[in-house]
Structure 1
């Protein structure tokens, strides 16, 4: 993957090859510590992302079961839509085809396991509100930040990247709500889309202000998680239309 290409000059072609000294196992083991560290970091981020996929599928399936009378296929389908729908929409808008969800097996497998867990163990899972909130917050933060950074790498502008980061995080839940014929959660005043957009904005604008991409991503995830948890625990809500305005429109 990280191959080093060496150009051959005329001198390099005609010169005799220099004798190479044998490198023992100790040298081979420590040859590329940077690459090992990068692989470890990528594996850890993938693990966190799969935790977020599982949590999104679990929460999406539970929400769908409360909103409509569904069979096993319906619950699993809506759980998968909640978990990976936003990423699929992002990849389609960016022209990244086929979407990453269909290029690997573990995203769909993890989402399926999460939805099945909700279907068979919904009585137990419904009591585990705090762990589900933690996992859901991790998924929301990771999807918002990673979606925005992928959009930046694809060459779109900062504003579009922020919107695509928010879409990655909340698009699946919106599709689920539409499929069960209810007003999408992001439109009813709860802090869900706002934390995702705020985290994506920090991740995108940070490098423009001189921050390293990794630092900006961590800061964006922290902002998203803080707003999401604060909204749940302290009851923070986005401003809503006054009831008098709705009654005036109806009248």
Structure 2
């Protein structure tokens, strides 16, 4: 089985595309929080690179890809400049950004799982790092912006669950030595589709069974 789902060149450009869309969401949050351009850039960088950086440090892949390839580092800065000058227009295509973000989620959960498995981790750990690669940047973004991470909020559509499904399917395929480019694309498509459906229909994870609260809107 070849773990390279795509050619190195195509994989590189797909990575940059995913980083770019994630970085856009980080820079937009900076605008909403009234941050200056430096704060916007920090949020863009951690959103675009945070998940992959965490994964690489855990598996001992150093220097992390975020620092070994200048393109990875520059892409969030380009996203920051785009949002800085054109944020009203970017806000207007927020739905399209959400679709691309879902695509990045699908790609990164598969790529993260594969990379962790290649470095000798088992199925469970590889799946966990696949989810972390896809969602970790968003968690860091929200924490730096002083918000409860969207990943943990009951009033937001499920985000980690689609990544978990894609990463789990990838790990199972790896274990069975059946991970072909088509199978990897199918795992990414699963995460992408579930995330889109969650956005369309407002799917949320359940809260505690028989939970009662006297305060309206309490999570």
Alpha-carbon displacement from aligned partner over 1:145-194 (angstroms, at most 9, x marks no partner): 00000000000010000000000011111011111111000011321111
Find the aligned partners of 1:243 and 1:64 in 2 and give their Cα distance: 37
Which of 205, 226, 238 is 2:193 aligned to? 226
Task: Output the CA distance in 2 between the equivalents of 1:107 and 1:113.
Answer: 11
**Aligned ranges 1:81-120 → 2 under 5 Å:** 81-120=46-85
For 1:152 and 1:246, locate their aligned partners in 2 and report how far apart those are by CA, in whole Å. Answer: 43
- Larger RCO: Structure 1 or Structure 2 (Cα < 8 Å, ≥ 6 residues apart)? 2
Q: How does 1:1-251 map to 2 (within 5 A)?
A: 41-66=7-32, 68-189=33-154, 190-241=157-208, 244-247=211-214
SS of alignment partner, residue 116 of structure 1: helix
Equivalent residue pairs, number? 210
TM-score for both structures, normalised by structure 1: 0.78
Q: Give the TM-score of the pair, scaled to structure 2.
A: 0.89
> CA contact under 8 A between 2:170 and 2:179: conserved in structure 1?
no
* Counterpart-to-counterpart distance in 2, 1:49 and 1:93: 19
Contact kept? 1:57, 1:114, Cα under 8 Å: yes
- Please list every run of 5 or more consecutive structure 2 residues that lacks an aligned counterpart in the other structure: none
Alignment-derived partner of residue 29 in structure 1: none
Aligned residues: CA RMSD: 2.0
Q: CA deviation at 1:64?
A: 2.9
**Equivalents in 2 of 1:43, 1:218: separation in Å?**
16
The structural deviation recorded for 1:89 is: 0.6
Change (3 A) 1:223 1:245: same
Aligned equivalents of 1:197, 1:234: Cα separation in 2: 19
Three-state SS of the structure 1 residue aligned to 2:186 is: helix
Contact 1:54 1:111 in 2 (8 A): yes
Max Rg structure = 1
Structure 1 unaligned spans of 5+: 1-37
